[in-house]
Amino acid sequence: MQFASPGLVRIAFAQLLILVGAWLMAVLVRKVLGERVTISGSAMVLVSLIGASLGVALVGVFFPAGELHDVFTVLAAFGVDAVALMIASAILVRIQGHEEIPTIAELVAAGESDQLEFKSSARWNLRTDRRDDRMELVIAKTVAAFSNSSGGTLLIGVDDAGQLLGLAPDFATLKSPDPDRFELWLRDLLQAKLGAHAAGAVDVEFEQIPSGDYLCRVTCPAAPAPVFLRPGKGTAAAPELWVRIGNSSRGLAVDDAIAYVRHRWPAPVATNLRNRIGRWSGTPVIVAAREVDG
């Protein structure tokens, strides 16, 4: 096939090859880095394109006979592209890898917010001075609300005023009064109420306070799909959808829940939610909006 300007055609195809190659290299680097660094796909592609452009420029500086469509030029572009991506990734890993996680004392000083909640206890009701299953349900609701929103941190053993109470009352309800047994109980609770995926996604840490007691930090990432709470025992309990509204956790009514899911997650997730609601047996599927007690 004859082209009126074959040189322009070759240049166009060479540019397309470099663009696609830069995009593929950016995707590969993001997969290799995984969760070690946080960077958007568009930013990584931009770095990749800059590297490829620098490679072409270097060929033009040092090789006067070089052409954009030459194999050598394309290889040089990819080579410099790879170096640029490695340098950028190393810088990001170094910067983001040294971000300090705030201590519990710093979190307490910051006060409650849409991404931070204090709970005095998880099992022991300090008002009635006895174990209370409702306290456990409040913990599960809070974790579900964080998961269905932008994520957040739950501190157990701290009252609303920021006073460090510790976990001694909760520990006393366990066979072994120690952090390991408490974490095991907590994950079992979350698995029963929220499902295995949600229970495994949270990060549970403990920090000792001056009194010798412990506080528990539960870090909840934003969930990739809705996390439903089953407030009762067994699979027959009607599931609920909880979210963060300001500095409180609230349950959504069915209509609000569907709208929230459609807005926050892709359309297939909202469709799946409607299908699930259709299978549930006519009882109220999700509680009317209300705030977590305790």
Give residue limits of the domains in the chain: 6-97, 104-279
Measured CA to CA in angstroms, residue 172 lies from 159, 177, 182 at distances of: 18, 6, 10
Q: Which residues contact 149 (CB under 8 A, 6 or more apart)?
A: 114, 222, 243, 244
End-to-end Cα, the chain, rounded Å: 77
Token pair, residue 103, equals 């201590």
What local confidence, expressed as pLDDT, does residue 51 receive? 75
What local confidence, expressed as pLDDT, does residue 231 receive? 83
Task: Please list, residue by residue across 240-257, b when 16 or more beta carbons sit within 10 angstroms of its beta carbon and e when fewer do.
Answer: bbbbbeeeebbbbbbebb
Q: Note the CATH number of domain 104-279.
A: 3.30.950.30
Strands (E) located in the chain:
116-119, 124-125, 130-131, 152-156, 203-208, 214-220, 228-229, 240-245, 248-251
Helix axes 41-62, 6-33, angle to 10 degrees: 130
Measured CA to CA in angstroms, residue 132 lies from 109, 121, 164, 283, 292 at distances of: 28, 10, 21, 26, 15
Q: Classify burial at 59, counting beta carbons within 10 Å of its beta carbon; exposed 0-12, middle 13-18, buried 19 or more.
A: buried
Q: Provide the residue-wise pLDDT of the chain in tens; the chain has 294 residues.
A: 566 766 677 777 767 776 777 777 777 776 776 655 556 667 777 777 777 777 777 767 776 655 655 667 667 777 777 777 777 767 766 665 545 677 777 888 888 888 999 999 999 999 999 998 899 999 999 999 999 999 999 999 999 888 999 999 999 999 999 999 999 999 999 999 999 999 999 999 999 888 899 999 999 999 989 999 988 775 556 889 999 998 889 999 888 988 898 888 866 554 555 555 555 544 444 443 444 544
* Residue of 145, 150, 100, 149 lying closest to 119 (CA atoms): 145
